[in-house]
Structure 1
């Protein structure tokens, strides 16, 4: 004979379920609030830069791209490098004190946030303004994710801790914001190249299916922006830059491998290269003279490392 729940037990069960749903909802709302607060703070601090009676005119100068690289993009990339190295060591059991390592990551995120926050970005370059905000929001989320991981470290194995961090809502939001920031930075480079060479489109959105023949006709800055789009859509932290992926795609096509495998779209080529971990940081530099000797690029250190 089945035992039926009493009215009190039923009310208790419903109350518990309500509290559980409320707690989960409150957590994700907290993530959004944290991100929105970062945005609101930044907008308030930079409002004076964009106030103008005539309104800002959009313009992308090479010196602005260079300044952004050193003051915003590089601090973020330095943090990302340490993050990926730490998570790798954690996943391979090389850290004797995971909690301390994650606390150091959280402190580093705060340090890099402070560096990038004080960078001056011109209001005439809205994509750079937005990219700065995106990277700040990303660093804020990574800081929170590292703190949360440190708090859980003592009760978990290294493998469990890595899984926890990679599924953490703050970490996922951090990746999203960082990839959006990267995409906006590379989009700003397209705007710059169009101002230098009118034959280069100032705006290019990839069609739903981008064929290899279409890809081959595109200028390098547009290709790099499309690869930043690809990385954004995959929501992955990778050690290479969008231009490294561009170079591997072009090298794969020029070598005839794409034709041998009967690939017709860029998506298919990118899927193969990323899934097989065939892209490395530095692939662009090693292929630049062969593939891009006559291509227009801003004078940024990751395009011209030989000048550093």
Structure 2
């Protein structure tokens, strides 16, 4: 025989259902309030854990090293090939400049293919910008060299070099390469600022900085200024910005800057570059003399034994 629910049983069941509805409603209301408060903190500038994590992960040394091997090094290998080709043209009038330009264009395309697959973390936008600019530079070099190859053996080598110097593809290739170099060196400064809080990565300086102020700057800041100077001068050569930094510091230490009444870093840099006084490897030669305690990322051009 089926047992009927008593009035008490029915009231207890209804009470349980009511409490369950209240509990579920309170849960979802709490979630809504918590979400709104979190969004309000974020919109008002408060840091969330994820924002702090992104900031902490930007411009890590491992990213600078990875960029060196996957993007920077292929580009510099191409620049070395280009520098060697120019020297050969000038020293050997019988050199086949047409074939040389075709090979250089082929090499630029190969370096482009190698560098474009490198992954750059989005938390380091300066490195991403540097990669894009290096790729543009390689593609512009390839296009410009292919266009000039057919007439490259006409006249002396100096005529070809002058024609390239005024060619739109070539000049844009230089600008993109120097812009990429500047972004890479600024990334090193950003990295240094995360390691040493006394290093200011935000203040604006230009190449007219006076020599007294220049000598107080950390090395990573000086290197960025020389990268900016080379970009302004459209100087893309076989030496690096830190080589120019070392040569400037050696020139100041020798007393020559004072004797010649040169007041700014840019003035000294202009004198040294115009007189071909800077060489690849100058930094390593002068490193122990000037930069024993300076903070630098563990990159092969700073520490060749690493």
Q: How does the TM-score come out when normalised to structure 1?
A: 0.79
1:94 Cα deviation after fit:
4.6
Change (3 A) 1:95 1:119: farther
Q: Is the 8 A contact 1:91 1:162 kept in 2?
A: no
Structure 1 residue 239: deviation in Å?
Answer: 1.1
Confirm whether residue 215 of structure 1 aligns to residue 214 of structure 2: yes
The 8 Å contact of residues 194 and 202 in structure 1, kept in 2 or not, is answered as yes
Superposition deviation, residue 247 in structure 1? 0.3
Aligned partners of 2:202, 2:302: CA distance in 1, in Å?
21
Matches within 5 A, 1:7-156: 57-58=54-55, 59-156=58-155
Give distance in 1, aligned partners of 2:207 and 2:191: 25
Q: CA deviation at 1:166?
A: 1.8
1:218-297 pair list within 5 angstroms? 218-297=217-296
Q: Is the 8 A contact 1:204 1:222 kept in 2?
A: no
Number of residue equivalences: 254
> 8 Å contact 1:89–1:95 — kept in the other structure?
no
CA RMSD of aligned residues (A): 1.6
Scaled by the length of structure 2, the TM-score of the pair is 0.80
Query: Secondary structure of the residue that 1:139 maps to in structure 2?
Result: helix
Give, in whole Å, the separation in 2 of the partners of 1:83 and 1:136: 16
Q: Deviations over 1:184-237 (max 9, x none)?
A: 000000000000000001224324731011101100000000000000001122
1:190 touches 1:203 (CA, 8 Å); kept in 2?
no
CA contact (8 A) 2:137 2:174 kept: yes
Instruction: Provide the rounded CA distance (Å) in 1 between the counterparts of 2:221 and 2:181.
Output: 14
Quick one: distance in 1 between partners of 2:95 and 2:268?
40
Q: Which deviates more from structure 2 when the two are superposed, residues 209-218 or residues 148-157?
A: 148-157
Structure 2 CA distance, aligned partners of 1:204 and 1:246? 19
Distance in 1, matches of 2:221 and 2:290, equals 15
Question: Which deviations, in whole Å up to 9, do the C-alpha atoms of 1:71-104 show, x marking residues without a partner?
Answer: 0000000000101111222233355321111100
Question: Measured at CA, do residues 103 and 95 of structure 1 come closer, stay the same or move farther in structure 2, by a change above 3 Å?
Answer: farther
Aligned equivalent of 2:297: 298
Partner residue of 1:48?
A: none
Gaps of 5+ in 1: 1-53
Contact 2:96/2:153 (8 A) holds in 1: no
- The separation in 2 between residues aligned to 1:236 and 1:208, in whole angstroms, is 15
Task: Provide structure 2 residue ranges, at least 5 long, that are not aligned to the other structure.
Answer: 1-49
Point out the structure with max Rg over C-alpha.
Answer: 2
The 5-angstrom pairing of residues 174-193 of structure 1 reads 174-193=173-192
Determine if contact 1:93/1:158 at 8 Å carries over to the other structure.
no
Change (3 A) 1:231 1:207: closer
Other-structure match for 2:5: none
Offset at residue 105 of structure 1 (A): 0.2
